Amino acid sequence: MKTRVADHLTTVFFIISLLTAAGSSEHDLFLEFCGKWRHGNNSLSLNIDVSPGCGLLNVLANESSLSVRGRITANCHKTEVIHLNKYVERNPDTDFCLHWEPLLDQMMLKVGERNLVLCPPSRPEQNCCTDLSNEPNMPEAKYGIDKGRVRTDNYADKTLEGYSFKGAITNCKNLCDLVNQTSVKGFHNTEHPCAQKYEKEMKNDSKRERVSTSGPKQKTSVTVDLPPALTSKVSVTFFKNISMFPPFSLSAHETAGPEEAKPLMDVVEISVENEIIADLPEPVKIFFDHDYIPGNLRRKCVAWDTHRDPLEVNWLDFGCKTKRKGSWHTECQCDHLTYFTVLVQLEPKPVRHLLALTAITYVGCAASFISCIGVIVFFCRNRRRTKEQSVAIHLGLTLALALLSLIFFFTGVLANVGGDNVCTWVGALLHYALLSSLTWMGIEVLNTFWLVYMVFRPSPRPYVWYLIGFVLPVVPVGILAGVGDIYGMAEIEQADDEDDPYRMCWMKLNEQNVLLAHCFTTMALLAVLVSSGVLMLFLVFREIRTRDEWKQNRVAFLSIWGLSCLFGVTWGLTFLNIEPLSDFILFLSCFLNSFQGFFLMLRFYMMNWVRKQANRSVLGSTSSGSVKQHMLQTTEKS
């Protein structure tokens, strides 16, 4: 008991001493030593000789070799000579950085533009070597290390033979727990800097075994589903710190294209001691519960490939399948064992065929605006002749669509002329017009439901619908405008010419708060509208499918098509992103939604023409009784 208390107090005083020494790099929990290696033009090599213990770490250099030697690791034992000709260009000076992470027992070396893993990350033993301090400088030399520094602290402007660092033994578990509660220089801003390791003895049966990360305060979690083909002791290690997998070690060009990518906060290692497991008959399933990932960002399950070069880390999707489970979950299925994570593209992928889509949008918005003006004039002229309350609702929808088409038509021009200041107001107005249009489409769904199922109950007054359609959307837009930094200029990159993006006034892209605002306002309303519209189409079809005129395919198609435009069902194509048909769906969605005002004009024109034909047939009847009966039939059909 006394020993445990003494160890705990020693670690506490160690943390306090580091806190009081903040601002100095004399004592560092982890090491980031960088400099320039001055060498000759002959063959170059890297000499590695590290072993478990806690003593001196020497970084030496001469005309032909760079050496990393010392007793500093917890588990890693590596003695090797590596030829660097394929890693380093023949320049007089080569930049390098040595990273040592004692809490994860990892050592990495960046030499030139290549990144070599000298000791892969693992869960350290009870004690680890940390509190590194610089020893006296070595002699000057013609070839060696120039401008050596630990992070931002320079040690010498001269070229020295090498540098030495001395470490001290510390209880790693206590240190991890204390660092988790204390802000200490040298630790990354993560939830927990240490790894969690679990060992599972697989039984020889047909059941799958599950291992999950623990901790009630964790925002993200990982669950590993092990197949029954693994019959030995399996080690599963969960890492909550991606700093040990620095961005420069990612081969993004092999996974997510030329765009920059990064791993999730969670990385999991699955291994069997002294065995290489590959080509499993049933895959290992890894379930990542992560932070929100927008739908326009690509993600891909990747594994740490060490087969091509054990020293160089490459994140490859070979042997892994990616299954999206919404914006918060990703499932990876892999047929081998190594390190796994999910690479996320940092920027939205460029839009293909942006010029053609823009042209369709401009033509569609112009046609829709002109069509909506014609419909508004038609409704205003005939409003006194009819007492149908549906006309007031149709008029509200047409007004909203006219405003949306007009603003969207000029948003690109205003973005290039007015800049960000104008786009703040235009973006908010465009968002309001979109929400108002979607709200009026929802009102059309409610009105149709009322006419079909609430025949003997009076529908709400027109002013109620106008308050809902035009005033209600002001609330979310006003709140977002009050929050600030939501609306502004949005740049959409085109795949054909990334240097000339399309600018428009809308919500600012690539901001998490903006994405959340977009999801909770536009996308939420759109999801409710599309689902209710599809349901209403089904109910209307069920009510009138037995009528004689519906037996004609032409009439049935035109009726369903007209109601689909009225209910905004075509906006449901926004949720479809099937990769083989993504371009076709994008063009179809752009065409249908841009020309929605034009399609509504055709619908109202056809309805008016049908009414005129019905009235002519009534006037042509000779019997008053037959006239009355025909009028009742016409009313029922309408």
Alpha-carbon span 507 to 622, nearest angstrom: 63
CB of 392 closer than 8 Å to CB of 626: no
Confidence of residue 74 (pLDDT cuts 50, 70, 90): confident
Question: What pLDDT is attached to residue 182?
Answer: 40
Continuous H helices in 101-203: 172-181
Residues sharing a CB contact under 8 Å with residue 189, sequence separation 6 or more, in sequence order: none
Pairing of strands 65-73, 45-52: parallel
Q: Which of 201-205, 413-417, 462-466 has the lowest mean pLDDT?
A: 201-205
Question: What pLDDT is attached to residue 496?
Answer: 64
What domains sit in the chain, N to C, each tagged with a CATH number?
A: 2-181 (no CATH), 196-345 (2.60.220.50), 354-637 (1.20.1070.10)
Cα 560 to chain center, whole Å? 36
Question: What pLDDT is attached to residue 68?
Answer: 93
Residue 315 bridge partners (DSSP):
304
Confidence of residue 513 (pLDDT cuts 50, 70, 90): confident
CB of 407 closer than 8 Å to CB of 362: no
pLDDT reading at 279 higher than 50: yes
Angle between helices 390-453 and 596-619 (to 10 degrees): 70
pLDDT reading at 133 higher than 70: yes
Alpha-carbon span 563 to 391, nearest angstrom: 15
Tokens of 106: 């990892």
Tokens of 426: 């235009």
- Cross-sheet strand order for the sheet of 320-324: 209-212, 221-226, 284-289, 329-334, 320-324
- What are 314-352's pLDDT values in tens digits? 677 788 888 877 778 888 999 888 877 887 765 566 677
Alpha-carbon span 106 to 91, nearest angstrom: 28
Mean pLDDT of 452-471: 81
**What is the percentage of the chain residues whose pLDDT exceeds 90?**
17
Mean pLDDT of 590-612: 86
Phi, psi of 276 (to 5 degrees): -105, 115
What is the length of the chain? 638
- Cross-sheet strand order for the sheet of 127-134: 78-83, 45-52, 65-73, 56-61, 162-171, 127-134
Mean pLDDT of 609-637: 51
Confidence of residue 497 (pLDDT cuts 50, 70, 90): low
pLDDT reading at 3 higher than 80: no
- What are 22-63's pLDDT values in tens digits? 333 344 567 888 999 998 888 888 899 999 888 889 999 998
Mean pLDDT score of the chain: 76
- What are 551-579's pLDDT values in tens digits? 565 556 666 777 788 888 888 888 886 76
Residues sharing a CB contact under 8 Å with residue 314, sequence separation 6 or more, in sequence order: 251, 254, 304, 305, 308
Distance set, CA 60 to CA 129, 310, 346, 354 (Å): 20, 23, 38, 54
Alpha-carbon span 317 to 405, nearest angstrom: 43
pLDDT reading at 259 higher than 50: no
Burial class (CB in 10 A: 0-12, 13-18, 19+), 380: exposed
- What are 384-410's pLDDT values in tens digits? 666 567 888 989 999 999 999 999 999
